[in-house]
Amino acid sequence: MAAIDVRGLTRRFGGFVAVDDLSFTVESGEIFGFLGANGAGKSTTIRMLCGLLRPTVGTALVGGIDVAKDPEGVKRRIGYMSQKFSLYELLTVDQNIEFWGGIYGLSGARLAARRQFVLEMAGLNGREATLTRDLPGGWRQRLALGCAILHEPSIVFLDEPTGGVDPLSRRQFWDLIDRMSAAGTTVLVTTHYLDEAEHCHRIAIIQAGKLAALGTATELKHVFSDRPIIEVQAVHPVAALEALDRLPDVEKTSLFGTSVHAVLRSAQEPEEIIRRALAAAGLEARSVTRVMPSLEDVFLDVVERAGAA
């Protein structure tokens, strides 16, 4: 049985369709990435899956429970953590753990064991009496995650969990997610950082409430398999960009720092086409090489196409 099974999920707010006929499944133990621009419908979807918002049409089974029929049952079985810190800043580390433990109905030996687990996981042993307000961002993030999984949920929703945290802490945070997944926990995570999305087993990209792409990172990159991406290091990048834009073989161009990326329509000797065009325009290029598409390329491409369709 899939951990999350979404079929035809739709949510309308008045005349506005926030989530439009979404269908996908997430397997147990999978890390499922949820990408989309702001307002694409990510948060609305998560809120429906967490039992906070009733779907207008469609069904969603989370841990086998229908979110529309038993939202409270869903809430008991899932963990949720958002980028907005969910901890009480005026409480100590211990008091936060105790509070969330109480909310999830933990007590006695179980609470003590889970408390120890969270303290170790977040690296907060010896800082139990520290005010949460005084913890550095990365620690707070891990504590928030710890509090969200105190009750050992089999499915965890992370809504932009690493916003505003330094790269090292992000790295440590993803190590925790990997470990949770390895232990069988299903993780559905939304993020803005496309490098983070590479950690996900599968990625869904949504645009305007619709599922625009779904697959592993490698699968998603296949959209560029017959459309090579050529990176040009030019002396005058802007002039090179304009020259390549006029080329019928070039589908689109973009600036990546000081280099130019051009996506070609066919895979026939792409480097040659570019070199000839630059020479014809009298522009000098230090290097012209074919590069692998990044998830960022994929994301932009998918969003553009979905927007054009």
Q: Which is nearer to another protein, 55 or 270 (CB)?
A: 55
Q: Are 62 and 102 in contact (CB under 8 A)?
A: no
Cβ count near 16 (within 10 Å) = 8
* Residue 38 beta carbon to another protein: minimum distance, rounded to whole angstroms: 17
Q: Which is nearer to another protein, 60 or 274 (CB)?
A: 60
* Residue 304 beta carbon to another protein: minimum distance, rounded to whole angstroms: 32
- Tell me if 89 contacts another protein by CB under 8 A: yes
Q: Are 249 and 273 in contact (CB under 8 A)?
A: yes
- Tell me if 50 contacts another protein by CB under 8 A: yes
* Residue 89 beta carbon to another protein: minimum distance, rounded to whole angstroms: 7
Task: Tell me which residues in 92-151 interact with another protein (CB under 8 A).
Answer: 95, 98-105, 107, 131, 148
Stretch that binds another protein, among 50-58, 161-169, 208-216, 266-274 (CB under 8 A): 50-58
**254 beta partners:** 261
Q: Which is nearer to another protein, 152 or 242 (CB)?
A: 152
Instruction: Rule CB under 8 A: choose which of 24, 32, 34, 85 binds another protein.
Output: 85
Token pair of 165 as six digits: 């945290």
Instruction: Rule CB under 8 A: choose which of 7, 88, 214, 271 binds another protein.
Output: 88
d(CA 86, CA 140): 9
- Tell me if 75 contacts another protein by CB under 8 A: yes
Torsion angle (degrees, nearest 10) of CA 207, 209, 215, 220? -10
Cβ count near 108 (within 10 Å) = 7
- Tell me if 86 contacts another protein by CB under 8 A: yes
d(CA 235, CA 82): 44
- Tell me if 38 contacts another protein by CB under 8 A: no
DSSP 179-232: HHHHTT-EEEEE-S-HHHHTTSSEEEEEETTEEEEEE-HHHHHGGGTTS-EEEE
Stretch that binds another protein, among 87-95, 212-220, 251-259, 285-293 (CB under 8 A): 87-95
User: Quick check: helix, strand or coil at residue 1?
Assistant: coil
* Residue 102 beta carbon to another protein: minimum distance, rounded to whole angstroms: 3
Binding residues (CB under 8 A) for another protein: these are: 50, 52-54, 71-72, 75-76, 78, 80-82, 84-91, 95, 98-105, 107, 131, 148
